[in-house]
Structure 1
């Protein structure tokens, strides 16, 4: 499913975001936190979408589906972030850097 979503998105979505200053190297910890935030944000959005889906009938997953759906949604968020995400990681990263500079 993720592969089909990735194929359907425009190429500019998959362009890696650059640091705010050209040629600047990324702070690895700040970038990891920004990506984790984006992953969690996507997971929360996807979870709210899945809440409206009723799985009744002969092909529902039963109790197991309900228990593991949150894990599936978390993985969707991580994979979408790895594939370029929705673009908020770079904004979060830049804000983290600003806050670090203010703290000095």
Structure 2
């Protein structure tokens, strides 16, 4: 094998290594972006769950007055569904800021 061919082989190997490193870096960035998206989704879900629990307490404390005063069959199911729907609407409308705090903490924990 001649020297130019050996150099060309080394150059190709080096180029392939560099391409592999770039591909790995791009893949890591995509993974990091996907991880950040998953963390955001989890933080949003946590805020919705928190709001849902809070609203269920509010509705159950209403006693015999308010929008769910009728204590007929299935009232608990409807109260739960209403709490869930209201919590989703509040969370999608910007929430109470809990999601942002949870997201920031999750990012800190992930970074180490």
TM bucket (normalised to shorter chain) is 0.5 to 0.7
Distance 1:96 1:74 in 2: 24
| 1:86 and 2:99 are equivalent in the alignment | no
TM-score (norm 2): 0.60
> Where does the alignment leave 5 or more consecutive residues of structure 2 unmatched?
1-32
Residue of structure 2 in register with 1:54 after alignment = 63
Which segments of structure 1 move beyond 6 Å, counting only runs of 4 or more? none
> Where does the alignment leave 5 or more consecutive residues of structure 1 unmatched?
1-24
Select the structure with the greater relative contact order (CA < 8 A; seq sep ≥ 6): 1
TM-score (norm 1): 0.65
Q: What is the total number of aligned residue pairs between the two structures?
A: 76
Higher Rg = 2
The structure richer in helix per residue is: 2
What RMSD in Å do the two structures reach over aligned CA positions? 2.0
